[in-house]
Amino acid sequence: MLGKLIKYEFINRWKAMISVFAGLIGGSLVVALLRVIRESAGSSFMNGLFGLVSALYVVGMLLGLGSIFILPLYDFRQRFFKDQGYLTHTLPVKTGTLLVSRIACDLSMLVGMIIVFPLSLCIAVGNFDVFRALADMVNTILKMIGINAAFGLTVGLFCGLILIEYLFNTWCFNCAYTLGHCLFEKGKKIMSVLFYIAIVFITGNIATLIANGFKGRIESYDYVSDIARDVAFVNLILTVMIVLMAVFVVGLMAITNRVFKKRLNLE
Amino acid sequence: MDQNQGNMQMQPQMQQPMQQPAGQPMQQEQQPMGQPMQQGFTPSYVQVPYQPEAMVTTDYASLKPQFQNVVSGNVVEIAHVKKGYGKTKRVFEDLNLQIPAGKIVGLLGPNGSGKTTMIKMLSGLLAPEAGDITIAGLPVGHQSKGVVAYLPERTYFNEGLKVKEIVGIFRDFYQDFDEPKAYQMMNQLNIDPNIQLKKLSKGNKEKVQLIMVMSRHAKLYLLDEPIAGVDPAARDFILRTILKNYDANGTILISTHLIQDVEAILDDVIMIREGQIVVHQDADSLRAQQGKSIDEIFREVFRYVG
């Protein structure tokens, strides 16, 4: 049933995702075309037009980037609380499975953006030096703190941390929205905001408590770069952070699931 | 019969008037059977011509399956259910109800009496604060949702999806979904499965929802105000569709204000007021006992004292 639910998620959400990606690529193609025309024509009108379109493209890029955070939240509200909730909550599936199925779609959207965003930038500027420049920039930052990018596991864990952090942020919102709208008849929006603040506060404090466990070892090093050279320790920190985020995500999903079972309140 | 009128009746989807050459008798342009009705729309199933004269009758009794009531026992058992909204609004304090299998049951009551709350509890959208609800022996949960077909009073599909995608969703999730039947019903209504739901009229969206629900062989059909807000012809169509397509071994629970329209099809009647069941009786015996129609009995029971 999980496979069918994942398929159901993609059926409902792929159009919005593809629209964002297509919009970014399309916008970059327009910018690239105008750049070529400007370089060959060289008129002040073309310069102005190119400048305007480039500015719009940058705005579009920022909106596209924001959409990978906004679209999953909007979809969650539409499909779990609005009229579509009458179908979602009457499907013969466990609520927990329904929530888990969203992860695949959420992550695919993020991965898609990680691929499309820099690709769109490269198309707009007309070369792939941007990718090289980005890679050089990341490498420089890693070297500054002493991490050698050749350490694949470390980089892999770092990427995993980005993905789980994205899920954690998404589920902070989903859980807070659920708590605010299911548990209260009035002041739902305000309660949702308060729940969000509470979730961030509680999870932040838990993370701090766990970080204190590494405090002794961190203080034994003289410089930050010394920590970074201790690859095993860096990998351990990254792994602990990933596990902690994953536990938070599971916890938030469990709370959402429980509230749906006991106090569902469609809008 | 005027040939133009005959043509319009047979082909309601034709948009352009026929061009009549001067001095020539009217040419009758027949839509050949089995031919696509719209350009670009080539169904893979046999076209059934629209026959408006067959939709005029309101003899619902003749449409009810002859082999009804073959299953015994109760499909719904509600025991000591308590439900409220917040601390001040109590809907049910101690609700007890059994609904037998294989019946068409009318759930009647004024606004705020608890009809929709009851239906939502049966469909799994609301959880009672206390008490038990079982459907076909299953406690309300993901398993009971597989035997319950629920039609809410609003459009609950993603309108960005095509009709055939919605059919696919129902096929994937509901074991009792009859896909050929769904396409046959859409064919009869000239609904293109390749069209997005948002491009359909409000009436056609409701018909798509009805088709999805009635294409299931469910044990319990929950229809929440299925004929509210539609014209009399559409009401007639909806009721006929319900009667012709539901699984006769299943039970239909219809919540409605429009009692006159549904009275003829009801086997049992449940009247509810402020969370209390005030009447639960066989429709025919109730009419015989009171010597009145269900509608008249309803008006008496729920008369506003002003």
Secondary structure (H, E, C), chain B? CCHHHHHHHHCCCCCCCCCCCCCCCCCCCCCCCCCCCECCECCCCCCCCCCHHHHCCCCHHHHCCCCCCCCCCEEEEEEEEEEEECCCEEEEEEEEEEEECCCEEEEECCCCCCHHHHHHHHHCCCCCCEEEEEECCEECCCCHHHCEEEECCCCCCCCCCEHHHHHHHHHHHCCCECHHHHHHHHHHCCCCCCCEHHHCCHHHHHHHHHHHHHCECCCEEEEECCCCCCCHHHHHHHHHHHHHHCCCCCEEEEEECCHHHHHHHCCEEEEEECCEEEEEEEHHHHHHHHCCCHHHHHHHHCCCCC
Contact B173 A92 (CB under 8 A): yes
Q: Quote the longest CA-to-CA distance of chain A.
A: 67
- Nearest alpha-carbon partner for B68 in B281, B218, B263, B247: B247
Contact A89 B158 (CB under 8 A): no
- What CATH code would you report for B65-147+219-231+251-306? 3.40.50.300
For B112, other C-beta atoms within 10 Å of its C-beta total 13
Contact B158 A12 (CB under 8 A): yes
Contact B123 A93 (CB under 8 A): no
| CB-closest option in B146, B156, B157 to A92 | B146
Task: Tell whether B123 is within 8 A of chain A (Cβ).
Answer: yes
- Nearest alpha-carbon partner for B85 in A257, A192, A265: A265
Q: Residue B81 forms beta bridges with which residues?
A: B95
Nearest Cα of chain B lies from the Cα of A263 at a distance, in angstroms, of: 7
Q: In chain A, which residues touch B (CB < 8 A)?
A: 4, 7-8, 11-12, 15, 78-79, 83-87, 89-95, 185, 261-264, 266
**Distance of alpha carbon A72 from its chain centroid, rounded?**
9
Task: Tell whether B174 is within 8 A of chain A (Cβ).
Answer: yes
Query: At B305, is the pLDDT very low, low, confident or very high (cuts 50, 70, 90)?
Result: low
C-alpha distance from residue B88 to each of A264, B70, B91, B119, B276 (Å): 18, 44, 10, 21, 17
Identify the pLDDT of residue B56.
Answer: 43
Instruction: Give the least confident one: A51-60, A139-148, B174-183.
Output: A139-148
Share of chain A above pLDDT 70, in %: 88
Nearest Cα of chain A lies from the Cα of B139 at a distance, in angstroms, of: 13
pLDDT at B212 over 80: yes
Chain A residues whose CB is inside 8 A of the B158 CB are 12, 78-79, 84
pTM of the model: 0.80
- Nearest alpha-carbon partner for B280 in B118, B89, B59: B118
Chain A residues whose CB is inside 8 A of the B127 CB are 261-264
Determine the average pLDDT of the residues in B213-228.
91
Determine the average pLDDT of the residues in B7-13.
36
Determine the average pLDDT of the residues in B125-137.
92
Query: d(Cα B5, Cα B7) in Å, to the nearest integer?
Result: 5
| Chains A, B: CB pairs < 8 Å | 60
| CB-closest option in B126, B150, B161 to A11 | B161
Contact B145 A91 (CB under 8 A): yes
| CB-closest option in A7, A89, A185 to B124 | A89
Query: At A151, is the pLDDT very low, low, confident or very high (cuts 50, 70, 90)?
Result: low
Chain A residues whose CB is inside 8 A of the B143 CB are 92
Instruction: Give the least confident one: A142-156, B112-126, B257-271.
Output: A142-156
Contact B173 A83 (CB under 8 A): no
Identify the pLDDT of residue B232.
Answer: 79
Chain A residues whose CB is inside 8 A of the B145 CB are 90-93
Of residues A60 and A44, more confidence is placed in: A60
| CB-closest option in B127, B142, B157 to A87 | B157
pLDDT at B71 over 70: no
Instruction: Give the least confident one: A116-125, B8-17, B253-262.
Output: B8-17
